[in-house]
């Protein structure tokens, strides 16, 4: 078994990480999971949360708002909707993300003919963003 695997974290704005890692904990849509070298290949969606990276150079954390993770046996790529190093997150960042989620939820509720699942998804996103602020003590 290999000790590390190649990890890449990319958002629309920039590449945030490209390094060898020993483990990555991701906030999956179906629950948190940890990917390590020789993990079974899979693709999963992300929910808002904190992505944690363990590498020989040290640990790091990123706030992600959603996206996808592709896990292979010796590589992992995360394509995040938005990703910010936790050390750079401010209260204004979080307030902006909560406001965007609140706007999306209100728009989903107001749209006539909107499927209940879309409104529920928007409500979950809003709840996840608000909980993230509580979790980060911001």
Instruction: State the pTM of this model.
Output: 0.79
Q: Give the structural domain span for 108.
A: 90-135
pLDDT tens sequence across 33-58: 999 999 999 999 998 889 999 999 99
Q: What percent of the chain has pLDDT over 90?
A: 49
Task: For residue 19, give both structure tokens.
Answer: 């390094």
Based on the fold, state whether residues 81 and 47 are members of the same structural domain.
yes
Based on the fold, state whether residues 41 and 56 are members of the same structural domain.
yes
Look at the alpha carbons of 17, 34, 37, 72 in this order and tell me if their dihedral is positive or negative: negative
Task: For residue 127, give both structure tokens.
Answer: 């709840």
**Kind of pairing, strands 58-64 and 83-85?**
antiparallel
Specify the CATH number for the domain of residue 58.
2.60.15.10
Average the pLDDT over each of 18-22, 41-45, 67-71, 95-99 and give the range with the smallest value.
Answer: 95-99
Based on the fold, state whether residues 76 and 26 are members of the same structural domain.
yes
Buried b (16+ CB within 10 A) or exposed e, 68-104: ebebbeeebbbbbebbbeeeebeeebbeebbeebeeb
Based on the fold, state whether residues 68 and 111 are members of the same structural domain.
no
Based on the fold, state whether residues 68 and 106 are members of the same structural domain.
no
Based on the fold, state whether residues 78 and 109 are members of the same structural domain.
no
Based on the fold, state whether residues 64 and 50 are members of the same structural domain.
yes
The domain tally of the chain equals 2
Based on the fold, state whether residues 95 and 79 are members of the same structural domain.
no
């Amino acid at each position: 078994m290999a000790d590390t695997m190649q990890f890449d974290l990319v958002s629309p704005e920039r590449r945030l990480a490209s390094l060898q890692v020993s483990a990555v904990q991701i906030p999956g849509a179906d629950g948190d999971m940890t990917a390590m070298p020789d993990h079974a290949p899979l693709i999963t969606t992300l929910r808002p949360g904190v992505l944690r990276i363990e590498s020989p150079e040290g640990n790091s954390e990123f706030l992600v708002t959603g996206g996808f993770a592709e896990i292979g046996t010796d590589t992992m790529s995360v394509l995040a909707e938005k990703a910010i190093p936790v050390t750079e997150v401010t209260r204004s960042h979080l307030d902006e993300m909560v406001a965007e989620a609140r706007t999306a939820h209100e728009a989903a509720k107001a749209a006539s003919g909107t499927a209940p699942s879309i409104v529920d998804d928007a409500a979950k996103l809003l709840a996840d963003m608000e909980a993230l602020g509580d979790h980060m003590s911001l």
